[in-house]
Structure 1
Amino acid sequence: MSDKELLPQKEHSTHKEHSTGNEPRTGFQRPVLTLPNQADKLLLHSCCAPCSGEVMEAITASGIQYTIFFYNPNIHPQREYLIRKEENMRFAEKQGIPFVDADYDSDNWFERAKGMEWEPERGIRCTLCFDMRFERTALYAHEHGFSVISSSLGISRWKNMQQINQCGVTAASRYPGMTYWDYNWRKGGGSARMIDISKRERFYQQEYCGCIYSLRDTNKHRKAQGRDIIRIGTLYYGDNAASDNDATADKDQGDRG
Structure 2
Amino acid sequence: MPNRINYQQEMEKVLRRLEAEGTRPRLLLHACCAPCSSATLERLADHFDLTILYYNPNIYPPEEYHRREKELERFVQQAGYRFPVVELPYEPQEFYSAVKGLEQEPEKGERCTVCYRLRLEQAARYAAQHGFDWFCTTLSISPMKDPVRINALGAELGAQYGVRFLPSEFRKKDGYKRSLQLSAEYGLYRQDYCGCVFSKQERGV
Please report the TM-score for the alignment, with normalisation by the length of structure 1.
Answer: 0.69
How many residue pairs align between the two structures?
188
How is 1:1-257 mapped onto 2 (pairs within 5 angstroms)? 34=15, 40-60=25-45, 62-94=46-78, 95-176=81-162, 178-219=163-204, 230=205
Deviation of the 1:41 alpha carbon: 1.3
Offset from partner CA, 1:139-187 (integer Å, 9 cap, x none): 11011100210010000111111111112112211123x1111122122
**Unmatched segments (≥5 aa) in structure 2:** 1-11
SS state at 2:160 partner: coil
**Unmatched segments (≥5 aa) in structure 1:** 1-30, 220-229, 231-257
SS state at 2:15 partner: coil
| Aligned partner letter, 1:97 | F
CA contact (8 A) 2:73 2:85 kept: yes
Quickly say closer, same or farther: Cα 1:63–1:169, change in 2 above 3 A: closer
CA contact (8 A) 1:138 1:149 kept: yes
Determine which structure has greater relative contact order: mean sequence separation of CA pairs < 8 Å that are 6+ residues apart, divided by chain length.
2
Q: Aligned partners of 1:65 and 1:158: how far apart in 2?
A: 28
Deviation of the 1:106 alpha carbon: 0.4
Quickly say closer, same or farther: Cα 1:110–1:191, change in 2 above 3 A: same
Query: Which residue number in structure 2 is paired with residue 254 of structure 1?
Result: none
Please report the TM-score for the alignment, with normalisation by the length of structure 2.
Answer: 0.86
CA contact (8 A) 1:76 1:210 kept: yes
Query: Which residue number in structure 2 is paired with residue 5 of structure 1?
Result: none
SS state at 2:173 partner: helix
